[in-house]
A and B are shown apart, each in its own frame.
Chain A
Amino acid sequence: MHPLNWIIVALYLVYAVGDGVRRAKGTRELEGYLAANRSLPWWAVGLSVMATQLSAVTLIGTTGQGATDGMRFVQFYFGLPLAMVILGVTLVPFLHGSRIFTAYEFLERRFDAKTRSLTSFLFLLSRGMSAGTIIAAPAVVLSALLGWSLVGSVAVIGIPTVIYTMVGGVQAVTWVDVKQMALIVFALVALVVALLLQLPVRPDDALALAGAAGRLRTFDFSFDLSNDFTLWSGLIGGTFLMLSYFGTDQSQVQRYIAARSVDQARSSLLMSAYWKIPLQALVLLFGVLVFVFYLFRTPPLLFNPAHQRAVESAEPVAYRALEARYQQALAEQRRAAEAVAASRKAHHGDPDPAAVGAFRDGRAAVEAVRAEALRLARRVTGESAGDVNYIIPAFVLHHLPVGLAGIFIAAVLAAAMSSIAAELNSLATVTVIDFYRRWVRPVAPDRHYLAVSRAATGFWGLFACGIATFAGTLGSLIVVVNRFGSFFYGSILGVFLLAMIPGARALGAFVGLIAGMAAVAAVNFGAPSVSFLWHNVIGASTVVAVGLALSIVIRPRSGRARKPA
């Protein structure tokens, strides 16, 4: 990589750490460290929430998904604006108004200590593991593409993040997030513009080719429970997932309870609703345009360079045969793509159906060879051979002008760091507030809790880096951890929904939570074809149904339920 790119990456890392440490002023008390003295403006909180949710996987994986699968993934976010509005008028006023540090404190006020401890324990369990995978995903890709060791990649992402999160707490995390979000959006827009300038066809023809290949099909109205991305799974399942994520996950809640007022907290959430669908559409559209770019330029047979080297070395004859067939298929596809563009010009924008048919045949031939190559890579390496995450980084490193690759890598690091910082901050907060202060040392000077919070941040940082190093070498572990985490989301949302219902009681909430997780596990193992987005609906509904039923049947001796705080 050109030295200018390295300079850009180094400058970004130094700036992020410096800015984070500078923001440590005013964090000499626990209220400042964990809640920024409830003083943050809504737009900063909103950008921080967005940066937290936009991880490195979004930049390298979702763009790759746009290239291979098109725009339909955007349906996943259709429930987000709805969820934000619901949270803004229901849960946010209670959480912000309660002057709490963690969302789970609210559950003890409403129900009891065991419900609080179980939900906070589930949070630590799932988020502790996922913090490692958030680092692992980009670290694996960067190490393969840049030739770094995995430990080195993990260190470059993890160490700066741990430093500024440990020193500056939520205030540093939020303000660095704002800069990171600006960098990510700038990088995305710059990449799209640079790509459009490099395309050998007009943008209008590029979109026509993407459309002919099915990459612009956004809306799927089929009601298919096994399909991850349909309008209904996005609207219904996505709404439940976003309600759970933004309403009950401490990494999000901690941002908006630091806002100046309830109205500012609500508005900060709406900022995510504002930009999420357009931003996600831009991310996917960038991937779609990279797909069009590779119709005219030769893409590698395997985008993962480590897999390519392994296959070339282990199966040289088979690889050369596949490569020859690939080149031939690519040449035919290119001719067909040019014919589609030419026919549009000749017919005032309407392509010749015969040219479109030939182009689709060409696509099918290219994809068939690629599928064979991926199967060969899986057999040779014994690893999952999907290379979606490598498409965009490979494109950026090999085809973009000097400087843009550095900006892209800085943006990937920013996306990873903003997500991991929020995770570390929230994990430390739950550890200290929901366990240490609750069960181990309820009374101590403020400076003691502050020191323990910093130590907890450091501990979770080391833990996440350790998990990332192992998760990076065990690809399937990432899938397992993500799946494991999805068991809890809907159920935890169910407990918070129960908390909003006046008649719900503590025992109902606790048993309902366990029943919800059991129901999701049963669906997951008994009917694996049901898409994960529906798990959130099933988990939340089961908790509310079981919790309410128990609350009606079993009445406590006092005969009174606690009112919502």
Chain B
Amino acid sequence: MARPEAIEPATGAAPPEPGPGRLFRRTLLRVLVVQGIALVLLWWLQAHYGT
């Protein structure tokens, strides 16, 4: 078996960006709105037509 490649120490990786960014927060808000609308529509279909 060959010599394993050199592995950076755990602390050598670039640190994650601090906190969610603006794009993420904005997209998250839209996701919540779209999911909410989708679930309400599905519920309405079931309640209205599910005789």
Contacts and interface: CB of A to CB of B under 8 A. Distances in A.
A97 B17 contact: yes
User: Which are the 6 A-B pairs with shortest beta-carbon distances?
Assistant: A211-B49, A93-B16, A263-B21, A442-B5, A565-B13, A98-B13
Contacts of A266: 20-21, 23-24
Interface of B: 1-17, 20-24, 27-28, 30-32, 34-35, 38-39, 41-43, 45-46, 48-51
A218 B7 contact: no
24 contacts: A42-B23, A81-B32, A89-B20, A93-B17, A97-B14, A109-B10, A208-B49, A208-B51, A211-B49, A211-B51, A212-B49, A217-B46, A273-B35, A274-B27, A275-B34, A277-B39, A281-B42, A439-B1, A442-B5, A442-B6, A563-B10, A564-B10, A565-B10, A565-B11
Contacts, number: 130
- For chain B, what secondary structure do more than half of its interface residues adopt (helix, strand, loop), or is it mixed? helix
Contacts of A262: 16-17, 21
Interface in A528-565: 562-565
A113 B16 CA distance: 23
Given A81-B31, A208-B51, A267-B27, A216 B17 contact: no
A214 interface: yes
A31 interface: no
Interface in A265-303: 266-267, 270-271, 273-275, 277-278, 281
Given A81-B31, A97-B14, A270-B31, A278 B23 contact: no
A6 to B, nearest CB: 37
B16 A97 contact: yes
Given A277-B35, A353-B51, A565-B10, 11 more contacts: A207-B45, A211-B45, A211-B48, A211-B50, A219-B46, A263-B21, A263-B24, A274-B31, A278-B38, A439-B4, A443-B5
Interface of A: 42, 71, 74, 81, 84-85, 88-89, 93-94, 96-99, 108-110, 113, 207-208, 210-212, 214, 216-219, 261-264, 266-267, 270-271, 273-275, 277-278, 281, 351, 353, 356, 437-443, 562-565
B23 A274 contact: no
Query: Which of A85, A263, A442 has the most B CB atoms < 10 Å from its CB?
Result: A263
A267 B42 contact: no
